[in-house]
């Protein structure tokens, strides 16, 4: 077990501590250089570039321009290819996700009388078109379809489209199509990676241009979003998976190890940390990892071992829970489990985390698939300024103002004073006696 990264916070200097915080997509220079020609090709060649890149990057030899969009027949066939138990689990998860996001939805409009006769408020309308990115490179993720599609449907976005890489046979993962149809989205394009972001930004002969793109992706996707931010709203920063377990001395280290591997198995570019002030918890977790790896598939073992032995994962011993919590807030993880028999004792101290799962019965697995809150979350310290994907990511807000004749004099006087102070004569004229004179003409 010497290959697993074990650190003591107290023994780290500033540079070493900063290295623990650094994410895999922190330096995108390599990907930015590689992504630029992909973007240009999609912009100039359209469908032809999508087909070529699908063949080159995804091995989808049978992909053609005519099959870039999933057909109704492919949707129908997907339900025969997916086990009924999986379909039922998808329906269960979507039901909870829909319920959560319906409760989250704001009222279409609100107005408040801020002064007598003067009203101000907000109006909400759905964004016209949003692309939903569903990755596939390291597995199949119908859960991402559930998490991106449902809030878009709840928000009543008129044009929702899923972008996901094709398999080697040129088809889309069947469970992803099942989740899409149950959620209420039946436009699916067979393209992934940087080329999918470019297709959504520019449109092609087959793909309709979108105003925004949401969903997690590889550094290739993150880089493309960054380069195309002037063409399409890239949404919250959602890169490779991050998981952190904050454990006190009241829990089993075996349990901590069990949940540590959840995000570690996503891929070699994931991040996964166990932070605890308990030497016992750390030692138990370390000793348990081999027996857990024996119960996993080879690919997931390889991914998680790479993460836990590298720069983006491992076990960290803190001097105290206060020390551990300070590190959590500094790290600002995507997924955080507070593993304790009294998790609410610590909740108030956690200020920087995208998702906080409480106690010993709320593993990230439940959050990812079934509970209801959105599991598309900001990564790479995005928790400092972003929240989870929500209905509000699919709607736009307009301010609404209405001043009556009764409320006008007081408002006009204040506005005229400030307009004159700032030197804006037309601003001042619009709330001067001229307005009252012109109103008499009506």
**SS3 readout for the chain:** CCCCCEEEHHHCCHHHHHHHHCCCCCCCHHHHHHHHHHHHHHHHHCHHHHHHHHHHHHCCCCCCHHHCECCHHHHHHHHHHCCHHHHHHHHHHHHHHHHHHHHHCCCCEEEEEEECCEEEEEEEEECCEEEEECCCCCCCCHHHHHHHHHHHHHCCCCEEEEEECCCCCCCCCHHHHHHHHHHCCCCEEECCHHHHHHHHHHCCCCCCCCCEEECCCCHHHHHHHHHCCCCCECCCCCCCCEEEEEECCCCCHHHHHHHHHHHHCCCCCCEEEEEECCHHHHHHHHHHHHHHHCCCCHHHHHHHHHHHCCCCEEEEECCCHHHHHHHHHHHCCCEEEEECCCCHHHHCCCCCCCEEEECCCCCHHHHHHCCCCCCCCCCCCHHHCCCCCCHHHHEEEEEEEEECCCCHHHHHHHHHHHHHHHCCHHHHHHCCHHHHHHHCCC
Measured in residues, the chain has a length of: 442
| CA-closest candidate to residue 236, choices 247, 226, 227 | 226
Q: Indicate which residues carry an active-site annotation.
A: 334-335
């Amino acid at each position: 077990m010497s290959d697993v990264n074990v650190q003591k916070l107290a023994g780290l200097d500033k540079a070493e501590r900063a290295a623990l915080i650094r994410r895999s997509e922190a330096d995108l220079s390599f990907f930015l250089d590689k992504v630029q020609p992909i973007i240009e090709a999609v912009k100039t060649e359209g469908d032809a570039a999508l087909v070529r890149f699908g063949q080159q990057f995804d091995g989808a030899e049978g992909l053609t321009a005519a099959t870039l969009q999933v057909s109704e027949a492919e949707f129908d066939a997907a339900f025969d290819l997916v086990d009924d138990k999986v379909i039922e689990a998808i329906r269960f998860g979507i039901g909870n996700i829909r319920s959560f996001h319906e409760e989250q939805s704001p009222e279409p409009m609100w107005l408040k009388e801020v002064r007598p006769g003067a009203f101000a408020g907000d109006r909400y309308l759905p964004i016209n078109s949003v692309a939903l990115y569903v990755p596939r490179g390291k597995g199949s993720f119908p859960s991402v379809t559930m998490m991106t599609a449902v809030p878009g449907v709840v928000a009543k976005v008129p044009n929702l489209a899923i972008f996901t890489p094709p398999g080697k046979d040129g088809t889309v993962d069947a469970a992803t199509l099942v989740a899409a149809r149950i959620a209420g989205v039946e436009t699916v394009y067979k393209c992934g990676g940087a080329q999918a972001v470019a297709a959504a930004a520019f449109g092609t002969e087959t793909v309709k241009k979108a105003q925004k793109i949401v969903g997690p992706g590889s550094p290739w996707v993150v880089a493309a979003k960054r380069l195309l931010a002037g063409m399409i709203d890239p949404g919250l920063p959602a890169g490779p998976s991050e998981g952190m377990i904050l454990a006190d001395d009241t829990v089993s280290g075996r349990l901590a190890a069990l949940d540590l591997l959840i995000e570690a198995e996503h891929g070699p570019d994931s991040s996964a940390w166990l932070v605890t002030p308990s030497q016992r918890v750390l030692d138990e977790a370390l000793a348990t990892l081999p027996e857990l790896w024996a119960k996993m598939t080879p690919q997931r073992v390889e991914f998680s071992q790479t993460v836990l032995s590298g720069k983006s994962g491992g076990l960290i011993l803190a001097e105290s829970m206060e020390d551990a919590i300070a590190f959590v807030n500094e790290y600002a993880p995507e997924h955080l489990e507070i593993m304790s028999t009294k998790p609410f004792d610590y909740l108030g101290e956690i200020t920087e985390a995208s998702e906080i799962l409480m106690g010993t019965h709320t593993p990230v697995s439940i959050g990812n698939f079934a509970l209801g809150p959105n599991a598309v979350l900001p990564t790479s310290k995005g928790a400092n300024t972003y929240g989870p994907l929500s209905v509000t990511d699919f709607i736009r807000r307009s301010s609404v103002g209405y001043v009556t004749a009764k409320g006008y004099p007081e408002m006009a006087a204040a506005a005229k004073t400030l307009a004159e102070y700032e030197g804006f004569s037309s601003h001042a004229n619009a709330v001067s006696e001229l307005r009252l004179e012109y109103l008499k003409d009506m």
